[in-house]
Amino acid sequence: MAMDEEKTNRSKSAEREEKILKFWQDNKIFEKSVKKSAPQGEFTFYDGPPFASGTPHYGHLLAGTIKDAVPRFWTMRGFRVSRRWGWDCHGLPVENLVEKELGLKSKKEIENYGVEKFNATARESVLRYADIWREQIPRFGRFVDMTDDYRTMDANYTESVWWAFKKLHDKGLIYEGFKSMHLCPHCGTTLSNFEVAQGYRDINDISVYVKFKLLISNSQRDEKTFLLAWTTTPWTLPGNVALAIGKNIDYVKVQVGEEKLILAKARLAVLKRAYKILEEFKGEKLVGFSYQPLFDYYQGLTLGSEKGQTLKNKENGWKIYAADFVTTENGTGLVHIAPAFGEDDLCLGEKEKLPFVQHVGLDGKFKKEVSDFVGMDVKPKDDPTRADVAVLKFLAAKNLLFAKEKITHSYPHCWRCESPLLNYAASSWFVKVTVLKDKLIAENKKIHWVPKTIGKFRFGNWLAEARDWAISRSRFWGAPLPVWRCEKCGKLEIIGSVENIKKHLKPRNRYFVMRHGEAENNIAKILSTKPENPHHLTEKGKGQVRAAAEILKKEKIDLIYVSPFVRTQESAEIVREALGLKKEQVIIDKRLSEISAHDFNGKPVSEFQLAFSSLAERFSKQAGGENYREIKNRVGKFLYEIDTDNSGKNILVVSHEAPIWLLTCAAAGLSEKLAITTYPSDFNKNDFLQNAEIKSFDFVPLPRDKNFELNLHRPFIDSIEFDCACGGTMRRVPEVFDCWFESGSMPFAEWHYPFENLEIFNPKPGLFQKPKRFPADFIAEGLDQTRGWFYSMLVLGVALFGKAPYKNVIVNGLVLAEDGRKMSKSLKNYPELLPMLEKYGADAIRFYLLSSPAVRAEDARFSEKGVDEVAKKIIGRLDNVLAFYLLYADKNQTNNLQPRLAVRQATTNNILDEWILARLNQLIGEVTTAMENYELDKATRPIADFADDLSTWYLRRSRERIKRIINNELRIKEEAKSALETLRFVLLELAKVMAPFTPFFAEYLYQTLNDANIRMDINDENVKSVHLEEWSKVESKVESQKSKVLEEMVEVRRIVSLALEARAKANIKVRQPLRKLKIKSPKLKTKTEILKLILEEVNVKEIEFDDKIGSEVELDMNITTELKKEGDYRELVRQIQELRKEKGFQPGQLATLATSAQIAATGLLQEFEIDLKRTASVEKINHGVLSAEDFELR
């Protein structure tokens, strides 16, 4: 559902928020908040880049709101907080998505389809929803720069990743190793240990007890004696090459039926049938014995007859070895060893020089040597036990299966495609995390984690068990590993920059470009876009070209390539003659022509300029011919072609201003975004090249895509080869980076460090300078990132720069459906996000999420009822408070109400005013402390409490006082005005406190209170916004002075609550006055003004303190005639006030009241007539004139 589609059920809040969003965008409020004075300096925030492979959901909204609230707070505290959006573009998540779209089912099918086409589709897919994100993220109130965004797939980003890899390699922290890892057979690549940790789930599986026939000698077997081993991975059994025992473990030989079995004595229970112990011995007695392989696929002399390759270390295979990892906790005390499929197995294999048999390919299928099962998936996603069942049936037929069991266990699955993983020995590139472990643990202790338990236990324990990080992937869509290997001598070359590639490639030719001299169309200031246009050089232009030719004489030009236009050919001819070149050394090439813009041919250049809003638009928008992208492609093809055709030449290109500029961009491999930065800023007034101006440029054919942009992806980078000193050819290894290595590089790679932007990012402190943007003051992501982004960033930060790359972390939990399950579109167990936005507005959803346990790493069940409560009890209540203020401020032309500039300046004798100002100061203190500690739920909770206090206590108790502003008596009017001023000040300060959490409503409050008629169409350089304000300070003096008021008001409300509870139990309405309230506690005995609040709230005539009463309060429930009369009168007043509302009477507007004979007969209105006129704004009363209704107002 796009946000610009027709919207239904849109709330008042949602409509208001969209107006405010437009106000922010039109007036660049976010940009101003970043540029404004920052006396406290920089506050650095890293924004973990999301994948844009789908539209935003509640999880994104939760994390995004956390990332928005904290920077807003620190901005208001006087810091500059830059917020730059980024996109995570690479890796298995994208590849899996593209595979499904293209109908590809395996890595092999991708290769057959073509890596270039596959990666082109991946590139297109990663930003498919970017426009939706750019629309929706700001709509949820996020302040972030989404225009100057970075992308992990950009060449500049990849170059920084290369730099990091080389830096780590230079430090000895990178190595290529062969290890047992987890392989995803569908993706055809191994995964890192923290990727594996994200995908464990319980599955039903099969375990088997298998019999291995013991050999008495190398050739003679004991037909009746078997070694009993247990495994949960029957598919690995064809790869068995040894059995392992514990040399100090007690083993037994037992008789079971006609067979003899050897197993650990402690594991006899697994037999589950009658047995007789024949012999007992230590495991060391078994060491060295041989056994017959279960399968004979690899026992022959050669590994595949067509290869004629001897199986290495075959003589050490199928024997019993001692190993420390063997236990008697499960199994049989004998462990099946397949070095290709287990870490312990591989270590034992290397130690004992066992043969290495890998009977399963990277695709997860049995290899052709395994003739009985060839091509079968060993752990298929749809039926993980299929291959296991086939193996055990085969063994059963040979009487080698002793028993089988169904088991349920936690098994690793691919974190992206959900295929079961295989423990698989493979080659990979690793970061030596183990040598950094102590430093990582020490740096982690310096980080402030919210909640602390995540850093101490979940993350801390993960670091304590850290293993070397496998960072290479045998895939396609990712930053390529910058490792070149000589195919002849094996020497490695690590490339750390694009410049390194250029040095290896070396330019074939030297290039110069020259714009034509001044021509007649330049003088006329018209566009001349057709070759046949007779626009010749002017005399001045000819002179310009001759002067340029003199400069070129020293360059020894060999060839001139020229545009077919008259003015360029005339320029080239002058140069040719001056340099003494032959005519055949001048080559006309139409690809060097001026822009084809026939709609503007012969028209003023200014008209062409006005047709485009920006230089960027010229790359996509045509002007009756071609756009700049098409020009760049044609001149790019020209350049690559002539560079191939020539060698060792000095080449001059004579063309037009735009084609020459785009030619230099194509030569440098610049993206359109980067190309624009090389052009003069005022592109309509300044040219890249003046008439007859000469420039030179370097060119080597770097890897590029069809738009002649530097593209370091496969397959383009794979075409780069260079010579080795040994005479061999160096080619790049085929692997790409783990995408976590890329995202972990974000702090420096987003700024293309260390190649540029050192004034923005530089982790190294200078003589008088602090590090820039390192480490981050704050980051935030979900709980899963403890083994993802948090981890990869910490490893790279410590390895490269020696310290943790972040200081404060908020870890959020999952947003679940209300039923506690994962939100599911198919189950429809949660309300859609955008309809919720339309119904309640962003602020209500934001506040609800920020006050949930999800902001402290706990899972939260999303409830629409909870959002509704926020909308009504916080935003709705405050909306009503504001409306009440505006009603009385506006009606009495009190626009000259002075806002209280600071709490300490608030002077009032009214106890309610004193209390609400003290509560405000308390609120500011609580929210400030919570935000400084990054505890967002603790920051939002006091706001909800304060909104309740302001609405249901302060305003309710102050209503009558404020209404009296219409009174002509100066004292009463001043009291009311003071209350209004207090209310206005409190609301303004509250707007600032709420700004980080409910930015739209805070802005609405602020703007409304500063401008009686809120105008969200303001477009003024000096426009004000709550988000440009400073955070309110806690007034310590006020805090100490007014703490007593706060304590006393708590006591007042406690007593009132108890008294009203007593009324309710006695079924006596509050409107009915009572004579006396007795209070047991003497705390408030001397507080006359506070006691007045209790008198009014409980509606009693007097208060008596009596410490002898049995309960905390005691009401005199005896209602006298006078009290009854007063209660009845109050009921009539209520009815009259309701009638005023129905009839639309405004506060203070006088009315004439008519009553019925029945009402008049009570005599109540006559007795209380003076009070009635004042209370209900009644000018005249006509008693007993109505026959039907009780009352009528005119």
Residues noted as catalytic: 49, 88, 740, 785, 789, 822, 825
Strands (DSSP E) contained in 112-156 are: 145-151
Helices 970-994 and 911-932 sit at what angle, rounded to 10 degrees? 10
Amino acid code (one letter) for 419: S
Q: How far apart are CA 133 and CA 104, in angstroms?
A: 28
Q: How far apart are CA 920 and CA 900, in angstroms?
A: 13
The DSSP secondary-structure symbol of 875 reads: I
Residues 660-681 as b/e (b if ≥16 CB within 10 A, e otherwise) read bbbbbbbbbbbbbebbbeebee
Amino acid code (one letter) for 44: T
Q: How far apart are CA 798 and CA 805, in angstroms?
A: 7
Task: Name every residue whose Cβ is closer than 8 Å to that of residue 824 and which is 6 or more positions away in sequence.
Answer: 817, 830
Q: How far apart are CA 471 and CA 462, in angstroms?
A: 18
Q: Which two tokens stand for residue 612?
A: 């485009």
Q: How far apart are CA 639 and CA 698, in angstroms?
A: 12
Q: Which two tokens stand for residue 854?
A: 């999800």
Task: Name every residue whose Cβ is closer than 8 Å to that of residue 889 and which is 6 or more positions away in sequence.
Answer: 895, 897, 980, 984, 1012
Residue 654 near residue 575, CB atoms below 8 Å: yes
Annotation: binding site: 825
Residue 354 near residue 348, CB atoms below 8 Å: yes
Determine the distance from the C-alpha atom of residue 246 to the mean position of all C-alpha atoms in its chain, rounded to a whole number. Answer: 49
Compute the C-alpha angle 494/497/499, nearest 5°. 115
The DSSP secondary-structure symbol of 152 reads: T
Q: How far apart are CA 691 and CA 819, in angstroms?
A: 72
Q: Which two tokens stand for residue 961?
A: 């006082």
Question: 102: burial class by Cβ within 10 Å (0-12, 13-18, 19+)?
Answer: middle
Closest CA to 360 of 512, 481, 185: 185
Report the largest interatomic distance among the alpha carbons of the chain, rounded to a whole angstrom: 127
Q: Which two tokens stand for residue 1149?
A: 């507007």
The DSSP bridge pattern shows strands 259-264 and 276-282 to be unpaired
Residue 713, number of CB atoms within 10 A of its CB: 25
Closest CA to 369 of 381, 378, 361: 361
Residue matched to tokens 């055990």: 392
Annotation: binding site for ATP: 825
Q: DSSP for 458-525? A: IIHHHHHT---EE-EES-SSSPBP-EEEETTT--EEE--SHHHHHHHH--SSEEEEEEPPPBHHHHHT
Residue 878 near residue 951, CB atoms below 8 Å: yes
